[in-house]
Chains A and B, each alone.
Chain A
């Protein structure tokens, strides 16, 4: 039992760590390619400078993403050998495709980083575009595999044995498209807000720095375009979850009793024993409307399922509210920014807005971490929804506390070093208007 706990904790830790870099690997190359594209069109050297600076950040983050992703691919077998024995043949396909996307990304990132003066400018920019596209494709394939765990199709289960495997049908599982859209957009939102926060910080100190103005402008553009789309996608994925995984949905909303005209429960303390959520903010009919677009609709509650098939309601409910809360805050900021821009028709650099954007820097990443907690903890006790329980998939190896501690130390060490390094990288440049 203790080993099961440490297996789950190690997996959660590795995922939580890797996701940050996976997201950076999707968002940063796009920014870097945008900056170089601007340079090719405008010939303003600041944009070239910016592309190079962002490329260095991308290189550092990509390296950590590559190795932490390697850890995950091993851990699938190290911690969940029976999961892989069942799932490998069905969802190995997207993992193989991801391998190719990742390979493309690594090759062209190598070219991009080291061949600034060894190839024609347009070809160099194109290699950056390839990095951005293959980065996003890597994400698409991994999310496809995860979506299959939520909506497993493409096989028949006969007496506990998987037969009639159809890997294409498994890839086309009903959760895949919504999850992909939601996560890729989330990456652009998170990176957009985080990067604009960094440059807003320097811009506040020196409003005349063209370097940080241009950087801030591009990152802000990415964030502002993505966040409203992300809200729409969030609504669609919630409706999908209500249909595909009603217990997960019920846990997200701390919704214990099946009822019509269900209220939306925000915050509060879910109590499984009493089957009620105390101290919560309730919006009448809100849940029925959000889940089914009809204030009178019936929403299935946790009471429709045996107790041993419930996920941890408190964790899932709070993670969900945190995710949505972060998304709402970012959306409000986007409205504020858009309003400023519409009024002045120039880069909004109002000091109060800059301060708010600096504060909002981590929101996208908090939302992503919380969102993955919703997806993964919400799927429990299943590792493959309705097919295989997590506890039945865990490795027989004991003493898992040791690797858990080792990787915790390793990741803490890497995080500290990274912050230190990125700081050294930035402090070196923040002073003003170079070469422009």
Chain B
């Protein structure tokens, strides 16, 4: 029971990481891709949007990692062993992205050094989500095999498949889309820049649909268990909802109802990840390790659940307060 709760909490934390930090990565991508007459203002708007919140957003990933090693310690060891290389690349990306963002922010002299940090920030923002998506995809391939707690499939299994690469690219697209949609709301006081992000979010929304289809088709061969999972009863409604929300987001973007587009995008990403989570459950690593297999002592699981409950009660208000302070003018009810 507790392992299921904790698995759900991990999924929830992952969703929040995608919604918040994912958009920060997307912001970095748009920073690198900034072009046109307003590119300086685009970059400034992105920096303003990310600045106060990125550290708090980053913590959702820590929560996933900490839960994985406290509640499912053997799975943590196995994943880190099997995905050693992409994980190292994720780490380098996280380090470079976080530090260069802050360096750039606090370096008041806008010279060549400043631009170089921007470039590193942008490149790291592209690479980290790719390897994150790749790693998550790898866990679903069924290629990572475990026997008596030991990885027997080598250090290249899973993440070197077409499906995993597809997941990496899809994660990039998803985050870029989220960021562009959020930025349309963030730039309400600057119509020219807002139009830039409107165009960017429409382009990414339209590109994302075939990409999603491609990942789905790749799953047929590349992640058969996941693919089967997607044919259960709950799958068609989720799929339909995601498609409708996608169309809704495009329409809202088109008619400049940006706050509603943001709601649609958030729900879309949430449903995609929840669908993936449901399809992969009960496996941490398909097909050899379930959450129940990897769960640690019941006493620890129970305490962890308690701590999570108490911690959430304390922290969610603080997290909400952070966003209230910096984003309050931008709730749907306030916008035209």
Contacts and interface: CB of A to CB of B under 8 A. Distances in A.
Answer whether A and B are interacting partners. yes
Nearest to A78: B80
A210 interface: no
A393 B254 CA distance: 56
B323 to A, nearest CB: 10
Contacts of A62: 55
B87 interface: yes
Interface string B83-103: 010011011101110110111
A338 to B, nearest CB: 36
Contacts of A307: none
Contacts of B87: 74, 78
B296 interface: yes
B311 interface: yes
B73 A87 contact: yes
B81 interface: yes
Contacts of B56: 103, 106-107, 110
Nearest to B319: A107
Contact of B52 (A81, A110, A406): A110
B106 A425 contact: yes
Nearest to A402: B88
Nearest to A62: B55
A36 B312 CA distance: 29
A137 to B, nearest CB: 12
A109 B62 CA distance: 17
B333 interface: no
B70 A92 contact: yes
Interface centre among A63, A87, A395, A421 (most CB of B within 10 A): A63
Nearest to B96: A410
Contacts of B217: none
B88 A78 contact: yes
Nearest to B58: A66
Nearest to B303: A167
A73 B315 CA distance: 21
B278 interface: no
A70 B94 contact: yes
A85 B81 contact: no
User: How extensive is the interface on chain A, given as a class?
Assistant: 35 or more
A424 B296 contact: no
B52 A77 contact: no
Contacts of A102: 59, 62
B67 interface: yes
A351 interface: no
Interface in B96-116: 96, 98-99, 101-103, 105-109
A11 to B, nearest CB: 13
A144 to B, nearest CB: 13
Contact of A63 (B79, B98, B307, B314): B98
A421 B73 contact: no
Contact of B315 (A85, A96, A103, A397): A103
Nearest to B81: A81
A70 B71 contact: no
Given A63-B101, A115-B325, A397-B155, A168 B303 contact: yes
Contact of B300 (A64, A92, A425): A92
B288 to A, nearest CB: 15
Given A92-B300, A92-B304, A114-B326, A70 B76 contact: no
Given A59-B105, A73-B62, A96-B66, 9 more contacts: A63-B101, A70-B62, A75-B91, A78-B88, A81-B80, A88-B69, A88-B76, A403-B88, A410-B95
25 contacts: A66-B55, A67-B58, A67-B98, A71-B94, A73-B65, A73-B66, A77-B76, A77-B80, A78-B88, A81-B76, A84-B69, A84-B80, A88-B70, A92-B70, A96-B304, A97-B311, A98-B66, A99-B63, A103-B62, A106-B59, A107-B322, A110-B55, A110-B56, A167-B299, A410-B96
